[in-house]
Structure 1
Amino acid sequence: MTDPTAPRPPAPSPAERARTIAAIGGRATLSPSVSDERITPVLHHVHPDGGVSVLLAADHPVVATAWQAPRGELATMVELTDAAPVPLREPVRGLLWISGWLRAISDDEARALALTIAEQRPDPRLLDVGHGAALLHLAPAALVLADAEGTHPIPVPAFTTATPDPFAAHEAAWLRHLELSHTDVVGALTRHLPDELRGGHVRPLGLDRYGLRLRVESPHADHDVRLAFTRPVRTNEELGLELRKLVGCPFLAAQR
Structure 2
Amino acid sequence: MPSAAERTRTLVQGTCSAVLLIPGLDSVRPEQLLPKVRSVGPDGDVFLLFPADSPAVRTATHAQDDEVPAVLELTDVAPVAVPHRIRGRAWISGWLTTVPGATADPGRALVRLEFGEAHVDDLWGTERVDAAAFAAAEADPLAGHEAELLQHLHSGHGDQVSSLRSLLSGPQSWTPADRVIPLALDRFGLRVRFVRAAGSFDARFDFPEPVNDIPGLRRAMHRLFEAAAHD
Q: Same fold (TM over 0.5)?
A: yes
Moved over 4 A (4+): 194-199
1:19 corresponds to which residue?
A: 9
* Contact 2:33-2:54 at 8 Å conserved across structures: no
Deviation at 1:179, TM superposition (A): 0.7
TM-score (norm 1): 0.75
3-state SS of 1:207 partner: strand
2:181 corresponds to which residue?
A: 203
2:95 corresponds to which residue?
A: 101
Name which of 160, 179, 182 aligns with 2:135.
Answer: 160
Deviation at 1:105, TM superposition (A): 4.1
Task: Give the letter for the 1:63 counterpart.
Answer: V
Can you list the C-alpha shifts for 1:208-247, whole angstroms capped at 9, x where unaligned?
1211111223446442221112222334443333222222
1:142 corresponds to which residue?
A: 117
Is 1:84 paired with 2:62? Answer: no
Name which of 193, 196, 204 aligns with 1:215.
Answer: 193
Name which of 189, 210, 213 aligns with 1:232.
Answer: 210
CA distance in 2, matches of 1:219, 1:42: 40
1:44 corresponds to which residue?
A: 37
CA distance in 2, matches of 1:46, 1:145: 18
* Contact 2:21-2:33 at 8 Å conserved across structures: no
CA distance in 2, matches of 1:68, 1:244: 56
Can you list the C-alpha shifts for 1:161-208, whole angstroms capped at 9, x where unaligned?
122222222222111111111111112112334556955422111111
Alpha carbons of structure 1 residues 80 and 198: separation in structure 2 relative to 1, 3 Å? farther
* Contact 1:197-1:218 at 8 Å conserved across structures: no
3-state SS of 1:110 partner: coil
Alpha carbons of structure 1 residues 198 and 227: separation in structure 2 relative to 1, 3 Å? farther
Deviation at 1:103, TM superposition (A): 1.7
1:110 corresponds to which residue?
A: 102
Matches within 5 A, 1:242-253: 242-249=220-227
Q: Structure 1 vs Structure 2: percent identity of aligned residues?
A: 36
CA distance in 2, matches of 1:197, 1:70: 64
CA distance in 1, matches of 2:124, 2:61: 39
3-state SS of 2:117 partner: strand
Task: Give the letter for the 1:97 counterpart.
Answer: W
CA distance in 2, matches of 1:173, 1:89: 19
CA distance in 2, matches of 1:76, 1:149: 26
2:24 corresponds to which residue?
A: 34
1:67 corresponds to which residue?
A: 61
2:50 corresponds to which residue?
A: 56
* Contact 1:190-1:198 at 8 Å conserved across structures: no
Deviation at 1:70, TM superposition (A): 6.6
3-state SS of 1:249 partner: helix
* Contact 1:143-1:154 at 8 Å conserved across structures: yes
* Contact 1:33-1:75 at 8 Å conserved across structures: yes
Task: Give the letter for the 1:138 counterpart.
Answer: L
TM-score (norm 2): 0.82
1:122 corresponds to which residue?
A: none
Task: Give the letter for the 2:75 counterpart.
Answer: T
